[in-house]
Copies of this chain bind each other. A is one copy, B any other.
Amino acid sequence: MKRDEPKRLGLPGGGELSSNESSAAESAKTVTRLDRWLARRIARGMGDPPVNIALWNGEEIYRSPTPRVGRLVFRDRGALWSTVCSPELGAGDAFSAGRLQVEGDLVEVLFNIYTSLDHASINSFKRNLFGRLPRPEPNTRTRSRKHIHHHYDLGNDFYRLWLDEQLVYTCAYYETPDATLEQAQVSKMHHVCRKVLLKPGMDVVEAGCGWGTLALHMAEHYGVNVKAFNISREQVSFARDRAKSMGLDKQVEFIEDDYRNISGSFDAFVSVGMLEHVGPDHYHDLGSVINRSLKADGLGIIHSVGRNRPTAPNAWLEQRIFPGSYPPSLREMLDIFEPFNFSILDIENLRLHYAKTLMAWLARFDDKVDIVRNMYDDDFVRAWRLYLGGCAAAFLSSSIQLFQVVFGYPLHNAIPMTRAHLYRDADAQAWSFDSTL
């Protein structure tokens, strides 16, 4: 979006605000008292964060009372209004269009804004002028296909630019502080496999398999047979080619179909990074699918972005990046398990691992930014930097969590008594995230 196309936001430009001036173009540049009031309102709505806020004429309307980590610059009145009217969607769109600029490190600035937001009033901050909270679109079978196509069929060449070499597009697991992204993705896959006790010859179903990396990893390293479901055509096609080239196409079947159509009987149910796209209205369906397809002595794992408590999804992320997505609280996730009397065995929160993963992706993205710009355009680059950087900041500031939930049927008594087997190769020293950005 160019600066001369403010109408694409569907929001008032400058003209209506100062109709007594002769030149609408001139008046759009003039900063009014209302503009200043709106900018201060935005700062207050964010809990007076440690960033300054400037307007298009260079005037700094809000100065952080504490040392600032960056500056937000509204390049025109439309950007200001769209942010006021819709703090997430409007600001995100203005950022993508280059009309709201962030000076300073993007992750650091967003992290500071997120931590500044009073968590108690996050939902009130999210409301638009009409008091409405953003609601994700429901994920019927048809809509799910459209939603998944929107994001995951952007082209494998694009994702290959900045994901790890195996194309794993979910939270990695850093066993040690110096693990590379590649190593951390392999560790994550082992961690998941160990949690569901994979053994040679087992039958595994995977709901939402991305480019097939985990399915192939399970087959190659644990000798299991996998049926892997995904509704992204490009991903499934890529995964099938890969299975053939690895000689694993007898062991791993990639199925282009909805998780609701899973049939068969399996020793393990694995789903990494799909629940975010299921939507809370369909958790009971998902539980029902698991309940009919998991064997009595089977184990399941669901790995998903989540929340500390139910929170409206980020409107910009939901509408521009992941349509239909919704990160649930643990309470909401229990709609999958409680109706079927599943027993929760283990929940691990890997929030800071996803922050690290996203920062690694963003760094790689930035390294390839010229190629991405040639493939798409500046708006696309800005939008994806906001998505990757914003999610990193959201995990760092604990606005979102990453839960791995292991479960089984209540009468399954042959489960491991301790979790020590998950750590047989691990460095036993506790290590903490280095939160200096």
Chain A residues engaging chain B, CB cutoff 8 angstroms: 115, 119-120, 173-175, 177, 197, 308-310, 329-331, 334, 337-339, 341-349, 351-353, 396-399, 401, 403, 410-411, 413-424, 426-433, 435
Number of copies: 2
A415–B432 CB distance below 8 A: yes
Contacts of A398 in B (CB 8 A): 343, 410-411, 413
Q: Which of B175, B308, B416 is the one whose CB lies under 8 Å from A410? A: B308
Q: Which of B330, B331, B431 is the one whose CB lies under 8 Å from A416? A: B431
Query: Please, which residue of chain B has its CB at the minimum distance from the CB of A311?
Result: B341
Q: Which of B197, B308, B343, B353 is the one whose CB lies under 8 Å from A341? A: B308
B175–A308 CB distance below 8 A: no
B413–A424 CB distance below 8 A: no
Q: If A308-B342, A343-B308 touch, does A432 touch B419 (CB 8 Å cutoff)? A: no
- How distant is the Cα of A106 from the Cα of B349 in the complex, in angstroms? 40
Q: Which of B348, B351, B424 is the one whose CB lies under 8 Å from A428? A: B424
A346–B343 CB distance below 8 A: no
B428–A414 CB distance below 8 A: no
Q: If A338-B331, A415-B352 touch, does A430 touch B420 (CB 8 Å cutoff)? A: yes
A413–B396 CB distance below 8 A: yes
- How distant is the Cα of A396 from the Cα of B410 in the complex, in angstroms? 9
A418–B423 CB distance below 8 A: yes
Q: Which of B330, B401, B426, B435 is the one whose CB lies under 8 Å from A413? A: B435
A419–B348 CB distance below 8 A: yes
Contacts of A396 in B (CB 8 A): 413
18 contacts between A and B (CB under 8 A): A120-B341, A175-B418, A177-B417, A308-B343, A308-B344, A329-B334, A330-B334, A331-B338, A344-B347, A344-B349, A344-B403, A345-B349, A346-B348, A348-B419, A413-B432, A419-B422, A420-B423, A420-B427
Contacts of A119 in B (CB 8 A): 341, 410
Q: Give min CB distance, A199 to chain B, whole Å.
A: 11
B308–A417 CB distance below 8 A: no
- How distant is the Cα of A334 from the Cα of B332 in the complex, in angstroms? 10
- How distant is the Cα of A338 from the Cα of B333 in the complex, in angstroms? 13
B346–A174 CB distance below 8 A: no
Contacts of A309 in B (CB 8 A): 338-339, 341
